[in-house]
């Protein structure tokens, strides 16, 4: 096992704890309702998988893609997404919860929220594992947030640098 890949920033245990708290909140907030929970690929896959396993409400899952970073670590501002190609029946009149790995500049947030709104959901909320307020370039409303972090480039637990480090069970800082 390669234990030397990235310096630990948030441990697997800390992540687990926050996800349990979030799942409890969702189980309460959506009690008696049906919830369509939308995974924003690729970065959210691990967060999404761990979160949905802790939900005991009536859940439907959807998957969309969004990418803004290209291959570097600076956001380009232009977000590519397939959100406009969804079948409207999976969103229209439904309670939608977007699951994102990290909100950085906020451009992906707007791309996705505006994309989903066009299908007229019954309700629309946004959950993110991480939030870097220092880098925000637009206003965002985060309904559910696990960790607010410093302005550092992080990897692991789904987040990548050039498609590397996604497999790490913790959130780390790259050794440079």
Judged by CB under 6 A, does residue 62 bind ligand IMP? no
Per DSSP, the three-state class of 40 is strand
Give the residue from 137, 171, 176, 173 showing the smallest Cα distance to 43. 171
| Tokens matching residue 102 | 């990290």
CA distances (Å), origin 166, targets 31, 63, 68, 169: 32, 18, 17, 8
- Residue 23 touches which of ligand IMP, Mg ion, none (Cβ within 5-8 Å per kind): none
Q: From the candidates 104, 143, 151, 160, which is the catalytic residue?
A: 104
Give the residue from 139, 114, 100, 138 showing the smallest Cα distance to 22. 100
Q: Could you give the CA distance from residue 42 to residue 118 in angstroms, rounded to a whole number?
A: 23
Omega before 14 cis (within 30°)?
A: no
| Tokens matching residue 119 | 């299908």
Footprint of ligand IMP on 82-141 (CB under 6 A): 100-109
Closest distance of CB 50 from ligand IMP, Å: 17
Q: Could you give the CA distance from residue 99 to residue 41 in angstroms, rounded to a whole number?
A: 9
Given candidates 51, 99, 159, 168, which one binds ligand IMP under the rule CB under 6 A? 159
Judged by CB under 5 A, does residue 121 bind Mg ion? no
Region binding ligand IMP by CB under 6 A among candidate stretches 9-17, 51-59, 82-90, 153-161: 153-161
Footprint of ligand IMP on 2-41 (CB under 6 A): none
Q: Is 104 a catalytic residue?
A: yes
Region binding Mg ion by CB under 5 A among candidate stretches 27-35, 37-45, 136-144, 164-172: 37-45
Closest distance of CB 105 from ligand IMP, Å: 3
What residue ranges bind ligand IMP (CB under 6 A)? 43, 68-69, 75, 79, 100-109, 153-155, 159
As annotated, the active-site residues are 104
What residue ranges bind Mg ion (CB under 5 A)? 43
């Amino acid at each position: 096992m390669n234990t030397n890949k990235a310096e630990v920033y948030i441990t697997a245990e800390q992540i687990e704890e926050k996800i349990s708290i979030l799942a409890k909140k969702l189980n309460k907030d959506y009690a008696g309702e049906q919830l369509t929970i939308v995974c924003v690929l690729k970065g959210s896959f691990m967060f999404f998988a761990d979160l949905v396993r802790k939900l005991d409400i009536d859940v439907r899952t959807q998957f969309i893609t969004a990418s803004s970073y290209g291959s570097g670590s600076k956001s380009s501002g232009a977000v590519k997404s397939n959100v406009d190609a969804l079948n409207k029946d999976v969103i229209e009149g439904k309670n939608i919860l977007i699951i994102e790995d990290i909100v950085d500049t906020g451009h992906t947030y707007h791309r996705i929220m505006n994309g989903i709104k066009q299908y007229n959901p019954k309700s629309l909320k946004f959950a993110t594992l991480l939030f870097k307020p220092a880098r925000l370039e637009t206003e965002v409303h985060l309904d559910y947030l696990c960790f607010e972090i410093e302005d550092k480039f992080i990897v692991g637990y789904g987040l990548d640098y050039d498609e590397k480090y996604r497999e790490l069970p913790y959130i780390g800082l790259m050794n440079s």
